[in-house]
Chains A and B, each alone.
Chain A
Amino acid sequence: MLKAPRSGVLVHDPNLCAGCGVCEVMCSLYHEGVIGPALARAHIVRHPFTAKHDHNICRQCLSPSCYFACPLKDRAICIDQASGTTYIDEDECTGCGMCVDACPFEPPRIKINAEKNVAFKCDLCKEREGGPICVEYCPFQALKFVSKDER
């Protein structure tokens, strides 16, 4: 594939975000069956003395460097043709970290799960009815899912 299809994206409104971490808690619970920001696809960096909190998460790039960097492209990092969502198949991923290096953001929006030795990142809860769990649980509506057409 030379050109990736468009994907929807999560948008964070720092003006509304309280930095409460509910998105991290629910993300790790839903995806990993444990609770902790370290295994959440979202990563909040709190700034308690300015109350301006960063929310670092996969931006679902229109031209995803991670996908093109993956040695097991279309097996480990895949793009869902219908939704355009870039996602990682844990069963195929070898944890080589090329995608992490390729990510254009700092900090990278892909992390390595050291215990499982696989990369993981937000897949917009593609299997979940009702869409991303963080959007549903965010107490301040600071997270929004923007569809590929509205993007």
Chain B
Amino acid sequence: MAKSYGWAGKVLHIDLTNEIVNKVPTADYRPEELIGGVGLNAKIFWELGCPKVDAFDPGNPLIISVGPLTGTYGPFGRGEVCAISPQCYPDELFTYSGFGGMFPAEMKYAGYDSIVILGKAEKPVYLSIHDEDVEIKDANDLWGVETFEAQKALMTNEPEASILVIGPAGENLSRIAVILNETKFAAGQGGFGGVMGSKNLKAIAVRGTGVVAVAKPDKVLELTRTIIEEHKKILWLRSMFRTPYTAPQETKDIFAARYFKKHYGCYGCPLQCHSIHYIPGIGLSGVSCANWLWAPIFSIDPKEVWEANVLSQRLGINTFEGIVGLPLLLALSLEAGILTRKEIEEDIGLPTPKWLGGTATNHKFLTVLLHKIADGESPYTEGAARFTEYFGKKLVSGEKLVDLYKEFYTARGYAFHHVDNLGSALHWATDTRDPVDSCHEYKNSAPKAMEHFGLPPYDDYQILDLSKTVYQGAERVTAWVQDNQCLKNSLPVCEFWSQVTSFYNPPELDLRIFESRLLSAVTGLDVNVDKIAKAGERIWNLRRAIMVKRENRTRENDTLNEPYFKKAIKCLAGSATGLVNGPIDKAKFEALKDRYYELRGWDVKTGWPTRAKLEELGLKDVADELASIGKLP
């Protein structure tokens, strides 16, 4: 195999049903054009024919990719998981979830850009990857074991391995189960823990003793100076998550002083933005942003919130759902009089905690809730979308509960997250999940982008004050952020880091300048800003083609839950928490979509990518395939 710079060079295919291990060159998937991460994942999924199977079907490929920058110095130690997602609602869509930690770099050092897992093992197994040696091993003893303990047990057999693992939630096919590395690093959204569980795959242990070859080491070394300088500007991010960040200062200080142990983060990154705490009697674990989300809302003792986080990590549950989404939904239903305490206790089967006017301790409430999610039998295990659907039919006030859900969960089964401006709303409408996890730009750097495009000021796009809202031009911002998002999730570049630094430093507005320089030095390819921008657009188009081919996506599906067009909605998370938002003008939003499709070079009537656009992006094969199934406009 030719020497590969930047990329590790191999894609590992595992067929668990037939116990076949196969390695193919990454070059087969055109990595120069699709880079890595979500780009490579989309390409692999496309080559597999975009299978129209259910999320828990053995034919659902679980694809994990890193990128050419993974394993080098800086905010690049991430990977991306893609598969047909059990969390997406009502239809299970092919979607993505990023994760950091130690696993991505270790996987790269072991020699793999991607791991593709198909089939279903007969009995519980784990994958043991030690450089070239790949084995499917028995994991019977680990089934049912919580994530931390399972990793500890595996580490005795696999010293120094980095491990991706699922907990009881994933084993029991919860739709909001995560894939976890160490204590805190998780591919959270999408419910991919359940996909691993459906394959009887408890864990992937990887140990790599290889290296990432870089084309121009001196140049890479020189560019690390820029990373150091950027890093100094964002050190405040590091201290942000030591405590519940919106709690009163005194609470924060006490918590940090008593329990904060140290920072940690992804391999090779100087920021180390997560915090590790140790609380006697509970243990040691890590937290970051979303873990603290609801603590300030209900003014609960941060210690209790932290404990609930640890329990959800141990059980392998998405905290954004188990700790934020579901409890908030219940709280809101009580507050709005949709559910009564009696219904919550008797029909829904949860002890009402004190902050909801009941008598149970918070600890009791959360423990029962999280165990119900992990058990695989109660409606909770299906996530908020299917939970409300279930009780929507069962309860007297069920219809109202569903309506409330639709306000709080913006689209496709994902909870509200920065839907406070038109750019973000259009992005939500055209993606397959909550997109904002990997593009906080709308809040942080979009204002600069708007200036760059000669558009009205950012505030004019807010849907908080309808008297001011401007629709014209929002499509430019959305398309720009989407291309960036694809790039970031492919190189990969950490969203948390880049939300602050990208576009943040005039006069050169374009974040792609630094990334293209670094990518060139690492891979030896001549990548300029235009090429890297094109790659972002190419990946977005390929993802759209997957939606069109597999999921019959058309412009009718590019929407949000209907309450967003009908009424004012109170923001419950994100930058506009507590403010009232919308409604979005439906007719103007449809006109915005027209302009968006035009800008994208897609067909306005169907929202499908055109041959001209796909060929311009070097995706002729994709155009041919869409034509052959009658889905090319």
A positions within 8 Å CB-CB of B: 15-22, 25-26, 28-30, 32-39, 45-46, 48-51, 137, 139-140
Contacts and interface: CB of A to CB of B under 8 A. Distances in A.
List 9 A-B pairs, minimum CB-CB distance, nearest first. Answer: A36-B211, A33-B217, A139-B270, A48-B182, A34-B211, A38-B209, A35-B212, A25-B268, A18-B272
A113 to B, nearest CB: 11
A28 B264 CA distance: 21
Interface string B206-220: 001111111001001
A39 B212 CA distance: 10
B354 interface: no
Contacts of A17: 262
B602 interface: no
Nearest to B101: A48
A20 B261 contact: no
Contacts of A137: 73, 224, 228, 270
Given A36-B211, A38-B209, A137-B228, A30 B183 contact: no
Contacts of B105: 21
Interface in B163-198: 182-183
Given A26-B224, A29-B221, A30-B221, A19 B231 contact: no
Given A34-B214, A45-B160, A20 B265 contact: yes
B109 interface: yes
A127 B558 CA distance: 59
Nearest to A51: B276
13 contacts: A15-B262, A18-B262, A25-B268, A29-B73, A29-B221, A33-B214, A35-B71, A35-B72, A36-B109, A48-B102, A50-B284, A51-B278, A140-B262
Q: Which of A38, A46, A139 has the most CB of B within 10 A?
A: A139
A19 B284 CA distance: 15
B571 interface: no
A30 B268 CA distance: 14
B212 A34 contact: yes
A24 to B, nearest CB: 8
Given A35-B212, A139-B270, A19 B264 contact: yes
B212 A20 contact: no
Nearest to A17: B262
B590 to A, nearest CB: 48
Contact of B267 (A21, A30, A51): A21
B73 A25 contact: yes
Contacts of A25: 71-73, 267-268
Given A35-B211, A38-B109, A22 B270 contact: yes
Nearest to A46: B102
A20 B269 contact: yes
Q: Which of A35, A48, A51 has the most CB of B within 10 A?
A: A48
B462 interface: no
Given A25-B71, A35-B73, A49-B148, 11 more contacts: A20-B267, A20-B268, A22-B73, A32-B211, A34-B213, A35-B71, A36-B210, A38-B208, A49-B151, A49-B152, A139-B272
Question: Is the interface on chain B under 10, 10 to 19, 20 to 34, or 35 or more residues?
Answer: 35 or more
Nearest to A21: B267
Nearest to B274: A18
Interface in B214-243: 214, 217, 220-221, 224, 228, 231
A50 B208 CA distance: 22
B264 A51 contact: yes
A18 B263 contact: yes
A20 B271 CA distance: 9
A19 B266 CA distance: 9
B118 to A, nearest CB: 29
A37 B109 contact: yes
Contacts of B276: 51
A18 B72 contact: no
A46 B272 CA distance: 14
Nearest to A45: B160
Interface of B: 71-73, 102, 105, 109, 148, 151-152, 160, 182-183, 208-214, 217, 220-221, 224, 228, 231, 261-272, 276, 278, 284
Given A25-B72, A45-B160, A48-B182, A34 B265 contact: no
A33 B217 CA distance: 5
A28 B209 CA distance: 12
B73 A26 contact: yes
A20 B264 contact: yes
Contacts of B228: 137
A140 to B, nearest CB: 7
Contacts of B160: 45-46
A20 B267 CA distance: 5
Contacts of A36: 71, 109, 208-212
A137 to B, nearest CB: 7
B272 to A, nearest CB: 5
A67 B230 CA distance: 42
Nearest to A30: B221
Contacts of B71: 25, 35-36
A87 B516 CA distance: 37
Contacts of B265: 18, 20
B183 A35 contact: no
A29 B74 CA distance: 13
Nearest to A33: B217
A16 B261 CA distance: 9
A49 B263 CA distance: 13
A148 B11 CA distance: 49
Contacts of A139: 231, 270-272
Contact of B262 (A16, A30, A35, A49): A16
A29 B262 contact: no
Q: Which of A15, A37, A140 has the most CB of B within 10 A?
A: A37
Contacts of B231: 139
B104 to A, nearest CB: 12
B147 to A, nearest CB: 11
Nearest to B213: A34
A39 B209 CA distance: 8
Contacts of B73: 22, 25-26, 29, 35, 137
A128 to B, nearest CB: 11
B148 A18 contact: no
Given A22-B268, A49-B183, A139-B270, A38 B221 contact: no
Given A19-B264, A20-B269, A21-B105, A51 B211 contact: no
Given A25-B73, A137-B228, A20 B221 contact: no
Nearest to A133: B221
